[in-house]
Amino acid sequence: MVRDWKEKFSFVGEPKGPVVVEAPVRGKPTSLEITAEMKKACESLVGPLSETMLDLLSRVDPEYQQRVRSNVVLAGGGSQIPGLAAALERTLEDVGGGKVRVVEDPVYAGANGSLAIAADAPEGDWERLAG
């Protein structure tokens, strides 16, 4: 149930409206307004992601930091949270600005990339992996 709520109602920033879900309370289906809880849960990701992003950026050669800041890419299920990319862009404002975007198919991008690498691998590599 909670996963469905997260996938349907997650957000960072201002909600589009109240988040109302139905859950059993003492066995009876009950409408619950969980906007504040959803906001708190989703926004709890921003701090750790921002910290990690800035840490990784600090390890990039200064000559390339602006290019990297302008090409931050989010992938995976969490990247689909509305407002997350904008929140991370606000973090980048403190270090000169940047652009955060979500890959076209965030859930399967990693698998698609692995498939592309595997398709380009020499045949001998396949034999070694299969053996």
Mean pLDDT on 22-49: 96
Residue 54: how many other CB atoms lie within 10 Å: 15
Same domain, 126 and 67: yes
pLDDT tens-digit map of 75-128: 888 888 999 999 999 999 999 999 999 988 777 777 777 777 777 777 766 566
- Give the per-residue pLDDT at 112: 72
Same domain, 32 and 51: no
Same domain, 78 and 119: yes
| Distant-in-sequence, close-in-space partners of 98: CB < 8 Å, separation ≥ 6 | 69, 70, 72, 89, 92
Same domain, 63 and 117: yes
- Full residue range of the structural domain in which residue 55 is found: 45-131
pLDDT tens-digit map of 4-16: 999 999 999 999 9
Same domain, 57 and 67: yes
Same domain, 20 and 35: yes
Counted domains in the chain: 2
Same domain, 93 and 37: no
- CATH number at 124 reads 3.30.420.40
Biggest CA–CA distance in the chain, Å, is 61
Same domain, 82 and 98: yes
The secondary element (H helix, E strand) that includes residue 73 is strand 72-74
54 versus 117: the higher-pLDDT residue is 54
64 versus 104: the higher-pLDDT residue is 64
Same domain, 52 and 115: yes
